[in-house]
Amino acid sequence: MPRASRPSLQRLLGRLRAHRRSQAEEKLAAGPLYADQDLLFAGPTGAPLDHRNIVVRHFKPALEKVGLDPSIRFYDLPAHDAQHAAFPGISHNMLSPNTL
């Protein structure tokens, strides 16, 4: 592993450990209502996260906060990043397949 990536990996591991502790606290707080499904990211009762809730409450506001078009879908991000690398300064709308 390259030396430069070790601090990033250590930060990631630290955040995952903190998340695990937080999840254990949620599990204790929910008591018997917690349905443990052995998920890395779960709701407060152990259920899988709702995709629509994540998109509306977190993803779209994050896009707007950094000045990106809120109509971008999560799965569009790799293409969006590649387009901006290839065509810096040109808006996402100008590069969409419907306008080319």
Q: How far apart are CA 13 and CA 94, in angstroms?
A: 39
- pLDDT tens-place string over residues 44-83: 889 998 988 888 988 899 889 988 888 888 777 766 555 5
Using an 8 Å Cβ cutoff, are 46 and 27 in contact?
Answer: yes
Kindly list the domain boundaries of the chain, sorted by start residue.
Answer: 1-49, 50-100
Within 10 angstroms of residue 19's Cβ, the number of other Cβ atoms is 12
Helices of type H across the chain: 6-30, 51-54, 60-65, 77-86, 92-95
Q: How far apart are CA 55 and CA 76, in angstroms?
A: 13
- pLDDT tens-place string over residues 7-26: 788 888 899 999 999 999 99
Instruction: Name which of 82, 76, 50 is nearest 63 in CA terms.
Output: 76
User: Torsions phi, psi of 11, nearest 5?
Assistant: -65, -45
What local confidence, expressed as pLDDT, does residue 100 receive?
A: 43
Token pair, residue 46, equals 């152990």
Half-sphere CA count of 89, side-chain side, radius 13 A: 0
Does the predicted TM-score (pTM) go above 0.85?
A: no
Q: If you average pLDDT over residues 86-97, what whole number do you get? A: 55
